[in-house]
Amino acid sequence: VIYGEYPTMGLTLDRATVEDLLIHFNSTIPGQGAGSLHEMTGEILECTHLNTTLTTYGDTVEGAWVEFDVEVHGDLIELITYMMSGSSPVYMPEEEREQIHDLLYQVLNSTLNSLESLEVQIAYTHSTGEALVKMTLVDDALQLVRELAEIAAQIPVPEQGNSGSVAVNTT
């Protein structure tokens, strides 16, 4: 965090402001109360531990490092499914939305179950505001294909119209 005036956001950041924000985070994000991660994620995730450390620096620029020690418990697959199925059209019947949700969950679960190893690296460059996410994974492709084939076999085939008849204009 770099302390200073940020007029475009109407914000002044100093140590006291950052400390107040961290106190707010520490008192709302953990647990199941109002403003908690549990509430924000529709009860899918819960922050069971949040500890923040503020370390001042100030050689050429005045500010502080903020470190977060966080434990989150919940169903990651359900969260991803919830985020993905949340974009379903609003006019879609509820039963179809639930079917899509269940299908997405099964596909994501099969995909994650087929992973043998996963490495995630995140690099953030403050000066450019860019983040780079690199994922390396090894999976059991044969297991994944088998599980996806089982899921696909459960999908009901849409009813077809009467394709055996052809309308002929006899006039």
Mean pLDDT of the chain: 86
Domain coordinates of the chain in residue numbers?
1-74
Q: Are 49 and 25 in contact (CB under 8 A)?
A: no
Residue 109 has a pLDDT of: 93
For 21-75, write each residue's pLDDT tens digit: 999 999 999 999 999 999 999 999 999 999 999 999 877 889 999 998 999 999 9
Q: Are 28 and 35 in contact (CB under 8 A)?
A: yes
Residue 164 has a pLDDT of: 47
Q: Are 63 and 54 in contact (CB under 8 A)?
A: no
Q: Are 110 and 151 in contact (CB under 8 A)?
A: yes
Q: How confident is the model at residue 126 (pLDDT cuts 50, 70, 90)?
A: low
Residue 73 has a pLDDT of: 95
Residues 6 or more apart whose CB falls under 8 angstroms from that of 39 comprise 32, 33
Which residue is listed with tokens 């995630």? 120
